[in-house]
Amino acid sequence: MSVLNPMKRFLTLVAVILSFSSLGNTKDTATLTNFDNQTPDLRWLTVNDTVMGGRSRGGYQVDDGILVFTGRTNTNGGGFSSIRSVPQALGLNESNEGLRMRIRGDGRVYIIRLETGTTRASYWAYFPTSEDEWLDIRIPFTEFWPNWRGARLPGPDLNKSAIESLGIMIYDNLDGPFRLEVDWIKSY
What residue spans define the domains of the chain?
A: 26-187
Q: What strands, in cross-sheet order, belong to the sheet with 44-48?
A: 44-48, 81-85, 163-170, 109-116, 122-128, 145-148, 151-152
One-letter amino acid for residue 133 of the chain:
E
For domain 26-187, give the CATH superfamily.
Galactose-binding lectin (2.60.120.430)
Q: Among 54, 58, 57, which Cα is nearest to 78's?
A: 54
Q: Among 150, 124, 119, which Cα is nearest to 51's?
A: 150
Beta strand pairing call for 122-128 and 109-116:
antiparallel
Instruction: Tell me the pTM.
Output: 0.81
Least confident range of 19-33, 89-103, 171-185:
19-33
Query: How many CB atoms are located within 10 Å of the residue 50 CB?
Result: 15
Q: Among 124, 108, 113, which Cα is nearest to 70's?
A: 108
Top-confidence residue, 52 or 137: 137
One-letter amino acid for residue 100 of the chain:
R
The answer to whether residues 98 and 25 touch, using CB atoms and an 8 Å cutoff, is no
Q: What is the pLDDT of residues 58-99, one digit of tens each?
A: 999 999 999 999 999 999 888 999 999 999 999 999 999 999
